[in-house]
């Protein structure tokens, strides 16, 4: 924190502009040493949040004509004096300016060091910091909106409110322990049980939504499965809007997994097109079928493609029975039946009449995917959600500690034993926002950022 750091804030390579970011106690001094503004009077006013045109020089020679943005402490992203140098987009030009800043006393920033300083200076909490990573890496509009909501502090506020509830419970318990005979407001066990039960309820609501949040952030691992020549690859191509998989009338054309990603209704699907399930004498085809069965075990959604008016096989029944909660049945090729009737020898699972050729069933499939991701609760689309594995794990441990505390009350345990459980709950919920966090965890989180962020 005592050093001034510098890094590229844009990716290297040819571009219209590059941006270099300086932050720290000597940032202004370094800029003063290397920058001659065109409007010196305006520059000397030290106005915050301004762009200033001038030339950047080092060792007596001009390196480039630049725009310098000035963001002074404590109003900057890091909470320190921050200067951003906008130079022309040649990598050689940017590197010369970067090296000049280092020669004048700056240190090359580590990955995520700007965001880490923002956290340490109280400009954002860990939920918001991790939302920065998610926003940069988001691949759908829905995922970007979720990360943006977290970055704005919507989720942090919910977590902080829960933390305050637990703090209040702990304060009452410890007051009863430390001052049992003084005039201190005591909670009887019944009202204390009510408060803990309320905290458990709020925690569980967050955990319920976290399943949706994680799927929106990471995507849904979706396996397309079925017999040979039922239209699996045609479905994949239609979802991708490109001819990704070879489609022929010859069964067994697909012999290995094809993996692609696509956004369907704002949900990222990590698609896996698999070899058709069948008995085969062909070694390569048998290996492909083995991979199909393995893929089903890790799938979060299974699109079981069957053919209209064709009876189900034992393998298809097995998939329906084994993975019932994950399966959506795509009853394909209904355009080939005169009355568009579908198979009638099964009554389990969600099924959708489908025709890739007539583009029928896609809207229904999108609606079913959204229903599953949002768990049938449309309100989840508009509330802050946990989506990060670390955050979910900490909240889950917090919930377990609260449940243990509730059990301790019902067993008539002493107040000091009860306080241990509540302290554990407080510790775990504090890990989420960073109120209580180890340096090793901070290093791990911010090392995942790119340099310059």
* Global pTM value: 0.80
| Shared-domain flag, residues 176 and 271 | no
Burial profile 183-213: b = 16 or more Cβ within 10 angstroms, e = fewer: eeeebeeeebeeebeebbebbeebeebbbbb
| Domain closes at, from 81, 102, 125 | 125
Binding site membership for Mg(2+): which residues? 233, 254
As a whole number, the mean pLDDT across the chain is: 86
Q: What is the domain count for the chain?
A: 3
| Domain closes at, from 125, 146, 162 | 125
| Shared-domain flag, residues 260 and 364 | yes
Residue 3 to residue 361: CA distance in whole angstroms? 59
| Shared-domain flag, residues 171 and 23 | no
Burial of residue 358 (number of CB atoms within 10 Å: 0-12, 13-18, 19+): exposed
Strand 301-307 relative to strand 327-332, pairing: parallel
347, pLDDT greater than 70? no
Give 322-341 pLDDT, tens digit per residue. 998 999 999 888 877 655 44
Residue 369 maps to a domain: yes
Residue 151 maps to a domain: yes
Nearest CA to 308 out of 328, 278, 279, 338 is that of 338
| Shared-domain flag, residues 36 and 177 | no
CATH of residue 370's domain is: 3.40.50.300
Q: How many other CB atoms are there within 10 angstroms of residue 12's CB atom?
A: 11
pLDDT at site 69 = 97
| Shared-domain flag, residues 145 and 278 | no
Binding site membership: which residues? 21, 84, 123, 229-234, 248-254, 273-276, 453
CATH of residue 409's domain is: 1.20.120.430
Tokens of 323: 């993975």
| Shared-domain flag, residues 222 and 284 | yes
Residue 132 maps to a domain: no
Helix axes 141-151, 154-178, angle to 10 degrees: 40
| Shared-domain flag, residues 262 and 295 | yes
Assess contact for 221 and 399: CB atoms under 8 A: no
306, pLDDT greater than 70? yes
Range of the domain at 70: 5-125
Binding site membership for GTP: which residues? 229-234, 248-254, 273-276
| Domain closes at, from 349, 378, 407 | 378
Q: How many other CB atoms are there within 10 angstroms of residue 45's CB atom?
A: 9
Residue 89 to residue 338: CA distance in whole angstroms? 62
444, pLDDT greater than 90? no
Give 415-427 pLDDT, tens digit per residue. 888 889 999 999 9
| Shared-domain flag, residues 322 and 404 | no
CATH of residue 92's domain is: 3.30.1360.120
Give the DSSP H/E element, type plus range, for residue 323.
none
Strand 301-307 relative to strand 350-353, pairing: unpaired
Binding site membership for (6S)-5-formyl-5,6,7,8-tetrahydrofolate: which residues? 21, 84, 123, 453
- Write down how long the chain is: 453
Residue 53 maps to a domain: yes
Residue 440 maps to a domain: no
Residue 57 maps to a domain: yes
| Shared-domain flag, residues 55 and 106 | yes
Residue 213 maps to a domain: no
Assess contact for 72 and 49: CB atoms under 8 A: no
| Shared-domain flag, residues 91 and 237 | no
Binding site membership for K(+): which residues? 229, 248, 250, 253
pLDDT at site 246 = 45
Q: How many other CB atoms are there within 10 angstroms of residue 13's CB atom?
A: 10
Residue 268 maps to a domain: yes
Residue 267 to residue 365: CA distance in whole angstroms? 12
Task: Name the pLDDT band for 183 (thresholds 50, 70, 90).
Answer: very low
| Shared-domain flag, residues 230 and 308 | yes
| Shared-domain flag, residues 45 and 112 | yes
């Amino acid at each position: 924190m005592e050093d001034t750091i510098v890094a590229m804030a844009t990716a290297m390579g040819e571009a219209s502009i590059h941006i270099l970011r300086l932050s720290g106690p000597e940032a202004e001094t370094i800029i003063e040493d290397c920058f001659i503004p065109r409007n010196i009077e305006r520059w000397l006013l030290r106005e915050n949040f301004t762009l200033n045109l001038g030339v950047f020089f080092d060792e007596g020679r001009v390196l480039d004509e630049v725009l310098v943005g000035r963001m002074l402490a404590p109003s900057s992203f890091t909470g320190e004096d921050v200067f951003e140098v906008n130079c022309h987009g040649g990598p050689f030009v940017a590197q010369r300016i970067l090296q000049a800043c280092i020669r004048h006393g700056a240190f090359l920033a580590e990955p995520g060091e700007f965001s880490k300083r923002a956290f340490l200076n109280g400009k954002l909490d860990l939920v918001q910091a991790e939302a920065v990573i998610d926003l940069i890496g988001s691949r759908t509009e829905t995922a970007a909106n979720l990360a943006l909501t977290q970055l704005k502090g919507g989720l942090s506020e919910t977590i902080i409110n829960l933390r305050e509830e637990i703090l209040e419970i702990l304060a009452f318990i410890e007051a009863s322990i430390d001052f049992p005979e003084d005039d201190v407001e005591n909670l009887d066990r019944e009202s204390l049980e009510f408060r803990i039960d309320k905290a458990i309820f709020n925690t569980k609501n967050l955990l319920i939504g976290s399943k949706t949040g994680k799927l929106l952030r990471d995507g849904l691992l979706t396996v397309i499965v079925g017999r040979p020549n039922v239209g699996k690859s045609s479905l994949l191509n239609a979802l991708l809007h490109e001819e990704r998989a070879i489609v022929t009338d010859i069964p067994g054309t697909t012999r290995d997994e094809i993996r692609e990603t696509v956004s369907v209704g704002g949900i990222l699907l990590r698609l896996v097109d698999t070899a058709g399930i069948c008995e085969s004498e062909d070694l390569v085809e048998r290996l492909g079928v083995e991979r199909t069965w393995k893929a089903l075990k890790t799938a979060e959604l299974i699109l079981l493609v069957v053919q209209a008016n064709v009876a189900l096989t034992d393998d298809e029944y097995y998939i329906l029975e084994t993975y019932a909660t994950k399966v959506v049945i795509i009853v394909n090729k209904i355009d080939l039946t005169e009355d568009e009737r579908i198979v009638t020898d099964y009554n389990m699972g969600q099924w959708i009449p489908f025709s890739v050729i007539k583009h029928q069933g896609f809207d229904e499939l999108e609606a079913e995917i959204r229903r599953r991701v949002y768990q049938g609760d449309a309100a989840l689309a508009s509330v802050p959600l946990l989506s990060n594995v670390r955050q979910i794990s900490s909240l889950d441990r917090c919930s377990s500690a609260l449940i243990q505390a509730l059990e301790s009350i019902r067993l008539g345990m002493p107040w000091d034993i009860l306080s241990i459980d509540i302290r554990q709950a407080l510790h775990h919920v504090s890990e989420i926002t960073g109120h209580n966090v180890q340096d090793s965890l901070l290093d791990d989180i911010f090392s995942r950022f790119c340099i310059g962020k």
